[in-house]
């Protein structure tokens, strides 16, 4: 008999596809280099390297944005354990906490400019969860995890089997 468990999978919202990013980049490169080329022909040659640098920085920013598509966190809450699996590209990390001693903490930032931080911790170890979520989503996830994991020395029963939720 399989034990009941809850599985929450969270991933960033990356609506820009690779094809869309390439089309966007090319749609900006064409006029930028067209104008820079025309100005270069008129003798304003320093414009061309700056246009190239600008497009290089835009390409790097798009590449970093597209890398977020491969970021996933899976939180599995079983009767005895809480497992946090983090995948970023080909890198995979797994942290397991005893559910009975695990705590969910939403730490507020000392500055308004920085988001809060959601962590699961136990016995001096901690794992950040949902860094890419909005503040409202992070609070909702903290509430749901609090209900599933419980407090220290308190493990609520999992009255459902194989339930999956996405944030």
How far is 96 from 117, CA to CA, in rounded Å?
19
pLDDT for the residue numbered 15:
85
Chain segment 106-134, per-residue pLDDT in tens? 888 887 888 889 999 988 899 999 888 88
Copy the structure tokens of residue 125. Answer: 């170890």
Give strand pairing partners of 72. Answer: 87
Q: How far is CA 7 from CA 10, 55, 82, 164, in A?
A: 10, 42, 10, 5
Dist CA 14 CA 66 (whole Å): 7
Output the six-digit token pair for 53. 């640098």
List all residues 6 or more positions away from 111 whose beta carbon is below 8 Å from its beta carbon.
none
Residue 53 CB neighbours (<10 A): 10
What would the mean pLDDT of 142-167 be, rounded to a whole number?
67
Sole residue written with tokens 């890398």: 67
| Conformation bin of residue 45: beta by default, left when phi > 0, alpha when psi is -120 to 50 | alpha
pTM above 0.75, yes or no: no
Does the pLDDT of residue 28 top 60, yes or no?
Answer: yes
Question: Which of 76, 72, 95, 103 has the alpha carbon at shortest distance from 6?
Answer: 76
pLDDT at site 1: 40
- Whether 166 shows a pLDDT value over 60: the answer reads no
Q: What are the structural domains, with CATH classification, of the chain?
A: 5-13+71-166 (2.30.29), 18-68 (no CATH)
């Amino acid at each position: 008999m399989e034990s009941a468990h809850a599985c929450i999978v969270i991933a960033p919202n990356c609506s820009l596809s690779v094809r869309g990013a390439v089309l966007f980049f090319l749609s900006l490169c064409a006029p930028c280099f067209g104008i820079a080329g025309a100005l270069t022909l008129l003798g304003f040659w320093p414009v061309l390297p700056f246009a190239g640098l600008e497009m290089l920085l835009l390409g790097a920013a798009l590449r970093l944005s597209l890398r977020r598509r491969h970021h996933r966190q899976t939180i599995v809450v079983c009767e005895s354990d809480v497992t946090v699996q983090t995948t970023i590209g080909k890198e995979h990390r797994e942290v397991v906490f005893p559910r009975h001693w695990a705590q969910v903490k939403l730490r507020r930032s000392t500055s308004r400019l920085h988001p809060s931080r959601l962590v699961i911790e136990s016995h001096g170890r901690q794992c950040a969860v949902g860094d890419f979520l909005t503040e409202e989503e992070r609070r909702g996830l903290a509430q749901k995890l609090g209900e599933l994991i419980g407090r220290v020395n308190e493990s609520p029963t999992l009255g459902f089997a194989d339930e999956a939720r996405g944030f």
